[in-house]
Amino acid sequence: MICEGAAGRSERRKTNPYAALDENRAQIVGAQGRFKNSVVAPVAEVTAAQRLLDQCTSRLDGIQMTFRARTFVTPAVAALLSTFASASVVRSHPAGAAGPALPVGAASRVLVVAPHPDDETLAAGGLIQRLHAAGGALRVVFLTDGDGFPEGVKAEEGRENVTASDYRAFGRERKDEARAALHALGIHDDTATFLGFPDGGLSRMLTGYWSDRRPPYLSPYTRRNRPAKSELLDADARFHGEDVTQELATLIAAFRPTAILTPRKEDQHVDHCAAWFFVADALGDVTRVDTGYRADVLTYIVHFKSWPYESELPALSGGAGWLRLRLTDREMAQKREAIHKYKTQMKVMDWFLEAFVRRTEVFAQPPSPRVQLPLRRSPCDQFKS
């Protein structure tokens, strides 16, 4: 076969590529009586075969990235938002393009994907509050603990020579800060999931460190090659890209978000860019198994040129139009309070974090991505961590 030996799913994954996903779906069926007529296993087999075929195509084409054309907003989002057309939601109309409204309402289920603790608050601290107030459901998934930040660790320890143990302790501290920040935003239930993948290493796992055909990526900071045990959804997870996809797919299948907020691939932080690829890949996995499921992917920007110091919008195309959420004074104050919970970050870059306490939060809904990982070369490697 032409793609034999391709750097695709490992043997473990190919045997049952949606093992965790299927198990999760079984729980959902049992708990809620849904999907009574779904036949998961055969679908998984078909989709696994399709995936292998896709990987062959991917091998031939190099980076395969196709985009499904879509209009401004899906009917599901439009229906949700018709019940939430308040004056506080501002529709943007940049360059003559009408922007859709934001997916915030009682029926909304929003998954916020944060590469590091603080991204969720910086990008969506207002949206999280608005969602909570509207009675919607929230889940925040942190891909890394933010434990690969030398300047931060040195500032925390007060010395130049820091150890792997210091980096690990820093990661634990940032997780505590994330919980405190969500609390400050009014989120008191357990909505956070920390996957514990390597800060600064996500892009490497899009390519060479994809599967267990190779040893896992080793963090030069924490000296870990797998998530800390307490973080595991999949007990076998290592610092391999397919494990990131698998964990995300498991979360998406269990939570079934109506909208997923994720960094945009143009974000100039290497982990943020890589996060977009993993989310797109995981969502593709879920929709191949659950063909009736759709989620809107909304993107946010944290690191891009002089953002967030522009007066209105990042210097990027808004795709189908930028979505703007206008924050109230109270929401801005709570967002500032949440940002200040990130003491380790405030210590070294308060000027940057404070700049996200803006009157508006902006998101984009680019065409739905279809990405097939792994990549031969990661476009994210051009960015710094």
The Cα–Cα gap between 97 and 333 comes to 31
Give the residue with the Cβ less far from Zn ion, 84 or 278.
Answer: 278
Q: Kindly tell me which of 115 and 152 has the beta carbon lying closer to Zn ion.
A: 115
Q: What single string gives the DSSP state of each residue in 314-369? A: -SS--BT-EEEEEPPHHHHHHHHHHHHT-HHHHHHHHHHHHTT--SEEEEEBPPEE
Work out whether 145 is an interface residue with Zn ion (CB under 5 A).
no
What minimum distance in Å lies between the beta carbon of 48 and Zn ion? 33
Please tell me the distance from the alpha carbon of residue 15 to that of residue 17, in angstroms, as a whole number: 6
Q: What is the smallest separation between the CB atom of 116 and Zn ion, expressed in angstroms?
A: 4
- Give me the helices (H) in 185-221, please: none
116 is a contact residue toward Zn ion (CB under 5 A): yes
Nearest to 116 by CA among 195, 185, 53, 56: 195
Minimum CB separation of residue 302 from Zn ion in Å reads 6
Would you say 116 or 335 has its CB closer to Zn ion? Answer: 116
Site stretch for Zn ion (CB under 5 A), options 26-34, 113-121, 151-159, 230-238? 113-121
Nearer of residues 269 and 288 to Zn ion, judged by Cβ: 269
Q: Is-contact 248 371, C-beta < 8 A?
A: no
Contact segment (CB under 5 A) with Zn ion among 31-39, 100-108, 112-120, 377-385 equals 112-120
**Residue 39 beta carbon to Zn ion: minimum distance, rounded to whole angstroms:** 40
Residue range at the interface with Zn ion (CB under 5 A); choices 20-28, 107-115, 237-245, 366-374: 107-115
Examine residue 147 and tell whether it contacts Zn ion (CB under 5 A).
Answer: no
Output the furthest CA–CA distance in the chain (Å, rounded).
61
Nearest to 137 by CA among 270, 256, 288, 299: 256
- Tell me the two tokens of residue 95: 């360059």
The only residue of 8, 115, 308, 369 in contact with Zn ion, by rule CB under 5 A: 115
Give the CA distances from residue 125 to residues 114, 183, 247, 302, 358, in Å, rounded to whole numbers and listed in that order. 12, 11, 24, 13, 10
Q: Which is nearer to Zn ion, 274 or 286 (CB)?
A: 274
Kindly state the number of chain residues that form the binding site for Zn ion, as judged by CB under 5 A. 3
Q: Which of 209/356 has CB closer to Zn ion?
A: 356
The least CB distance from residue 86 to Zn ion, in Å, is 30
CB 97 within 8 A of CB 320: yes
User: Which residues 212-251 are close enough to bind Zn ion by CB under 5 A?
Assistant: none
Q: In angstroms, rounded to a whole number, what is the distance separating the alpha carbons of residues 48 and 298? A: 27
Nearer to Zn ion, 224 or 272 (CB): 272
| Residue at 253: amino acid letter | A
Shortest spacing between CB 267 and Zn ion, in angstroms: 8
Q: Where are the beta strands (DSSP E) in 149-212?
A: 192-197
Interaction between residue 119 and Zn ion (CB under 5 A): yes
Closest distance to Zn ion from the beta carbon of 362 (Å): 17
Question: Using an 8 Å Cβ cutoff, are 152 and 344 in contact?
Answer: yes
Closer of 129 and 144 to Zn ion (Cβ): 144
Nearer residue to Zn ion within complex by CB, 120 or 242: 120
User: Within 10 Å of residue 263's Cβ, how many Cβ atoms?
Assistant: 26
- Residue 191 beta carbon to Zn ion: minimum distance, rounded to whole angstroms: 18
Note whether 264 binds Zn ion by CB under 5 A.
Answer: no
Closest distance to Zn ion from the beta carbon of 36 (Å)? 41
Least distance to Zn ion, CB of residue 25, Å: 31
Between 234 and 350, CB nearer to Zn ion: 350
User: Could you tell me if 249 and 21 are in contact, meaning their C-beta atoms sit under 8 angstroms apart?
Assistant: yes
Which position's Cβ is nearest Zn ion? Answer: 116
Q: Specify whether the CB–CB gap between 44 and 18 falls below 8 A.
A: yes
**Residue 338 and residue 164: Cα distance in Å, rounded?**
28
* Residues within window 306-335 making contact with Zn ion, judged by CB under 5 A: none
Q: With CB under 5 A as the contact rule, which of the stretches 117-125, 235-243, 284-292, 335-343 interacts with Zn ion?
A: 117-125
Which of 229, 173, 217, 224 lies closest to 342, judged by CA?
Answer: 173
Q: Which residues bind Zn ion (CB under 5 A)?
A: 115-116, 119
